Structure 1
Amino acid sequence: MTNKEDKTLRLLMPQWQGGNNPPYVLGAHLLNWLAPKTNGPFEEVPVDLDVCLEKEQGIVGRSVLLKQARSAKSLIQKHRPDRVIVLGGDCGVELAPFAYLNEKYDGDTALLWVDLHPDVSIPEDWPNHHAHVLANLLGIGDKEFVAEVPRPFKPEQVLFVGLNDMMEALHSKPLQNMKFDIATPDDIEEDSSKVLQWLDSRKPSKVIVHFDLDVLDLREFRSLLIANPDTYDEMVGKAPKASSIETIIRVLQDVAKAHDVAGLGITEHFPWDAYNLQNMLQRLPLLGDINKKDKAPFNWIF
């Protein structure tokens, strides 16, 4: 369903501050390395590696996140692509590319938010921006982030796919008059009909896909924040139902066969084994520092 002559920009954005999880830097680079090679344009968004973050106006790392979003916007404008692939990083990496695509196609888009969580929180309720990004794309939240979205999405443009956690955020005061459609893990387990019927009823010219890897079942895919080896057995019992890898592949393939996909973002790759291996290598003879005893923390709590 795509025009081979269209320009597709691959954007690597190893942003970690939105969830305050530095291993997303490694996760994003591994995603880029693992992904099929591209002959199209490629850009990497510069990301600040200073781990000393402060809460500013209710948002952890607000100023650096705004700076990185604007850097991403500048790189996208440099190429003015027809399609964008984003490899992150936390979910906030989608702000600039998805805002660009919705403006480019005059709002004639559908946004599939393939995620266990809705990401529509506001600073008053949650300090980490990775949980705000869809609210910003809808024109809600911190004014400076919202200003980065020249043409906000409308609620009827959004379908949540695989949503099954933190759903109370959909009922916060700024969203209380908005109606959203949801395809739960149960809805997509057997076939993709609910997603395809929703798209067919709207007939968008372009489809944009946000794919947060946490929509996958941690029993099958463990490169997720929630799959911390130290608490894994406990979380297996607590985690809400999620989707299998093959289910998500099938849904996205079915969508792409029937509709024109102009954007794909993949986020929140937390590679626990690679991260722990990286820490180990830093402490071995000849490779690293044999006097190093501490293991780098994977996040900070504010």
Structure 2
Amino acid sequence: MMRYLVVPQWQGSPSSRAMQLIDGAQAIAGDLPRSATTVLDVPMEAGESLGTGIHRLSSLQRVHGQIADALEGHDEPVLTVGGDCGVALAPIAHAARRVPALAVVWFDAHPDFNTPDSSTSGAFAGMVLRAVTGDGAPGLALTDGTVPYARVVVAGARSYDDAELDAMGELDIAALTVDALRDADALVAAVRASGADGVYIHVDVDVLDPAEVAGNAHPEPFGLTVGELTAAIAAVRAEFPLVGSSLAGYSPASAASATDDLGAILRVIGALA
């Protein structure tokens, strides 16, 4: 049975409307099966950088520990709902410890591949995938449950920082464009080429075209449709065991409008669950 973990974390986001991620997470939680859903009590305080290049690091470390504790003892797949993309870090480590040859498919308009030194925003949401590979600040870069560069697939990114482009080129990170993803077999082939025995799928809603979801603080044009995204997820799941998944970035303009995009969001959750 699929379990759901809802984490209304906002501290990793660079957006001026970061706290609206709380409204998005709570709206999604309202449509998940109650008996299979845990909602974490995320601290409201911003936190301190603790001398690093990561804004609000202390709060992010605290939530990271809460997520890890909530996942302890769960062997079944868990779908983690954010909040910002930082909520995926502990679930990926949890999945990688269970399936060492794990591939991570990262659906996102941005690759989130900065380090604290290269980031121009200081927002951890833009560093998460790099932290998954073990690069980053102490306490938020994995040392246990890391995923090697060769088993990372970035899907649908179309807005890169120069430092991210350079690093991904040097490390030979697999990346598929939106056009490439319209042939779902291309994504399956990329995961197969990684030698993976299982897959973790992360979705930031900004991988979708802005016409598909209005509640998106970082819209980037020319994204996937919901149908294209769910077809790509289904194709991967047909060939590889889904060990875990996450969905993040739903940031409605207001609590009152938080249900407006739920039809699209729940279709994606259905594909992951």
The TM-score bracket by the shorter chain reads 0.7 to 0.9
Partner of 1:30: 27
Instruction: Supply the distance in 2 between the matched residues of 1:269 and 1:257 (Cα, whole angstroms).
Output: 27
Instruction: Supply the distance in 1 between the matched residues of 2:57 and 2:258 (Cα, whole angstroms).
Output: 31
Instruction: Supply the distance in 2 between the matched residues of 1:170 and 1:10 (Cα, whole angstroms).
Output: 31
Instruction: Supply the distance in 2 between the matched residues of 1:276 and 1:101 (Cα, whole angstroms).
Output: 34
Answer yes or no: is the 8 Å Cα contact 1:8–1:81 preserved in 2: no
Partner of 2:218: 226
Tell me the secondary structure at the aligned position of residue 16 of structure 1: coil
- 1:101-153 residue CA offsets vs partner (Å, 9 max, x unmatched): 111112x111110111111111223200111111111010102212x440311
Quote the offset at 1:34 in angstroms: 3.0
Letter in 2 for 1:153: V
Greater gyration radius: 1
Quote the offset at 1:159 in angstroms: 0.9
CA 1:55 to 1:81, structure 2 compared with 1: closer, same or farther past 3 Å? same
Quote the offset at 1:64 in angstroms: 0.7
Partner of 1:73: 68
Aligned counterpart for 1:204 among listed residues 196, 204, 209: 196
Quote the offset at 1:208 in angstroms: 0.5
CA 1:264 to 1:46, structure 2 compared with 1: closer, same or farther past 3 Å? same
Aligned counterpart for 2:154 among listed residues 155, 160, 174: 160
Answer yes or no: is the 8 Å Cα contact 1:95–1:149 preserved in 2: no
Quote the offset at 1:271 in angstroms: 1.2
- 1:227-284 residue CA offsets vs partner (Å, 9 max, x unmatched): 5xxxxxxxxxxx4421111110111112122221111100010112535689xxxxxx
Partner of 2:234: 253
CA 1:97 to 1:63, structure 2 compared with 1: closer, same or farther past 3 Å? same
Which 4+ stretches in 1 moved above 4 angstroms?
Answer: 275-278
Q: Which consecutive residues of structure 2, in runs of 5 or more, have no partner in the other structure?
A: 260-273
Tell me the secondary structure at the aligned position of residue 135 of structure 2: coil
Partner of 1:47: 42
Letter in 1 for 2:151: Q
Quote the offset at 1:53 in angstroms: 4.5
Instruction: Supply the distance in 1 between the matched residues of 2:47 and 2:58 (Cα, whole angstroms).
Output: 10
Instruction: Supply the distance in 1 between the matched residues of 2:81 and 2:4 (Cα, whole angstroms).
Output: 8
Answer yes or no: is the 8 Å Cα contact 2:114–2:126 preserved in 1: yes
Alignment size in residue pairs: 253
Quote the offset at 1:217 in angstroms: 0.6
Instruction: Supply the distance in 1 between the matched residues of 2:75 and 2:3 (Cα, whole angstroms).
Output: 6
- 1:153-182 residue CA offsets vs partner (Å, 9 max, x unmatched): 111101111111115343456x66411111
Instruction: Supply the distance in 2 between the matched residues of 1:269 and 1:55 (Cα, whole angstroms).
Output: 25
CA 1:55 to 1:199, structure 2 compared with 1: closer, same or farther past 3 Å? closer
Partner of 1:102: 96
Tell me the secondary structure at the aligned position of residue 12 of structure 2: coil
Answer yes or no: is the 8 Å Cα contact 2:152–2:174 preserved in 1: yes
Instruction: Supply the distance in 1 between the matched residues of 2:252 and 2:170 (Cα, whole angstroms).
Output: 38
Tell me the secondary structure at the aligned position of residue 69 of structure 1: helix
Aligned counterpart for 1:112 among listed residues 105, 109, 122: 105
Answer yes or no: is the 8 Å Cα contact 2:49–2:58 preserved in 1: no
Does 1:59 pair with 2:20? no
**TM-score (ref. length: structure 2):** 0.85
Q: CA RMSD in A?
A: 2.2
Quote the offset at 1:8 in angstroms: 3.7
**TM-score (ref. length: structure 1):** 0.77
Quote the offset at 1:28 in angstroms: 0.8
Quote the offset at 1:205 in angstroms: 2.0
